[in-house]
Amino acid sequence: MEGLSTGVPGGAHQELIARIRTALAGRKQSEVARDAGIQPSTLSNILNAKAVPTLTTLDVLARALGVTGPALVELRRLRERADVRTRRIDGYLAAARDAAREHPYAGVLPGTTPPLAAVYLRQRVRRAAEAAGAATVPADEVPAGGRVCVILAGPGGGKSSLLRTWLARGTGRWLKGRGEESVPVLVPAADLVDAPLADALAASVNRELEGLVEKLPAAFFGSEPQPGAGWLVLVDGLDEVTDAAARRKVLRRLADASGGEHAGLYRFIVATRPLPGRELDLLGTDVPHYTLQPFGRDDLPLIAGNWFRCLEVADPEGTTRRFLRALEQTRLAALAQVPLMTAMLCQLHAAAPGQPLPAGRGQLYREFVDLLHRQQHRAGSHGLPVLTTGLGRYDPGRSPPPRRRSTTSPN
């Protein structure tokens, strides 16, 4: 397969290893790894030709070894020539990390969109089979075990933001040479309907990630990203595949890929609204299902404060207090515990702090769509008619708003 390392280093790779070993002479590998802030296994894999270091890893390693100036430039040149696959992995990780910073839905005003991490609040999950009073765990602990798991929540409940947070965290760690057992890749479930998994992942990533320098071949996702590592496939929006037969096709494809000869290559986290019947049993009856919990009342001051600081209101603390008092005077206090609703309410209040909050959900949608239109005319933004049409249709009993693509005009 194109670009895959055979395990035998070529000329540039051999020279890169030799220069690192020369710089390492007389020092313990464990101490150098500690000084560089990387895992000892990462350094061992580099020295034993099992992996070519990422650019970030090479730079921190060179700093720990005291390699600077022309010698560092030469190390970077050798690394660039060493392995086509490593260059592609570097490019993928950087592009995916950058894309993960964007908000996944259109319920955020254009031109004022803060980074997702700046307003994201860690949520919790509960095993779906457990009673409402059962203990919850932090949502970001879910990927730690199992080949497949399912995240359930209603529309706007934070599923897509959670997946993007996992993507940002995972790609960031790999770029720093601190990767875990799997490299994350995010894909809409609809992209998995009509092609084998590796082909579908490549096509989706090539379309979604603007930061890629070159297209990734299907073989890139059909083999290990690094020796001993696999892919953590974050499947978003299964419920948005409206045809039941197509959903079942996706579920069977994931079940097949998680077992058999590919059991060590792929792990899956599937995010969806609850589906009719027992469709999800196609993944396996032993697959754990987790229900993503809404914000608690005690979370609202923090999440609202984050939004108002990002929106640069004059007095974010005072605005937060007034917003919470106004919220209690409406019928939206419970709905505000849904992440997307919180975002919309905070933006409406920041745009018109002297106006009362909407009295109900329908009025909230109408006022937010009106605000989107005003922003469109003020900034001359493109693509907003698509956003407002979709958002106007949004209802927890129907379908979610359109997913924000990585392009500037959502599709």
E strands within 194-341? Answer: 230-236, 266-272, 289-292
Here the tokens at position 3 are 């670009």
Could you tell me the pLDDT band of residue 109, with boundaries at 50, 70 and 90?
Answer: low
Question: pLDDT tens-digit profile of 162-191?
Answer: 999 999 999 998 888 776 779 999 999 999
CA distance 284 to 205: 27
Q: Which amino acid is located at 116 in the chain?
A: L
CA distance 168 to 346: 24
pLDDT higher than threshold 60 for residue 155: yes
The answer to which of 58-62, 251-255, 350-354, 372-376 has the lowest mean pLDDT is 372-376
Dihedral (Cα; 287, 128, 282, 232), 10-degree rounding: -50
Query: Among 173, 204, 178, which residue's Cα sits nearest to residue 191?
Result: 204
Q: Which residue has the higher pLDDT, 178 or 253?
A: 253
pTM (2 d.p.): 0.76
Domains and CATH numbers, the chain: 11-82 (1.10.260.40), 93-292 (3.40.50.300), 297-337+339-393 (no CATH)
CA distance 309 to 299: 16
Residue 77's pLDDT is: 86
**Could you give the residue ranges of the DSSP H alpha helices within 258-398?**
300-310, 316-328, 339-351, 361-379, 384-393
Q: Who contacts 263 (Cβ-Cβ below 8 Å, separation ≥6)?
A: 147
Residue 72's pLDDT is: 94
Q: Which residue has the higher pLDDT, 193 or 54?
A: 193
Residue 256's pLDDT is: 92
Residue 269's pLDDT is: 96
CA distance 335 to 377: 29
Mean pLDDT rounded to a whole number for the chain: 83
Mean pLDDT within 18-45:
93
Could you tell me the pLDDT band of residue 249, with boundaries at 50, 70 and 90?
Answer: very high
Residue 90's pLDDT is: 82
Question: pLDDT tens-digit profile of 127-140?
Answer: 987 767 778 888 88
Q: Which amino acid is located at 143 in the chain?
A: P
Could you tell me the pLDDT band of residue 378, with boundaries at 50, 70 and 90?
Answer: low
pLDDT higher than threshold 50 for residue 303: yes
Contact 29, 246 (CB under 8 A): no
CA distance 115 to 238: 25
Mean pLDDT within 295-319:
92
Question: pLDDT tens-digit profile of 324-371?
Answer: 998 888 878 888 889 889 989 999 999 888 888 988 888 888 998 888
Dihedral (Cα; 102, 167, 191, 254), 10-degree rounding: -160
Residue 275's pLDDT is: 92
Query: Among 166, 115, 43, which residue's Cα sits nearest to residue 309?
Result: 115
Contact 170, 226 (CB under 8 A): no
Residue 8's pLDDT is: 41
**Could you give the residue ranges of the DSSP H alpha helices within 25-158?**
29-36, 40-47, 55-65, 69-82, 84-100, 116-119
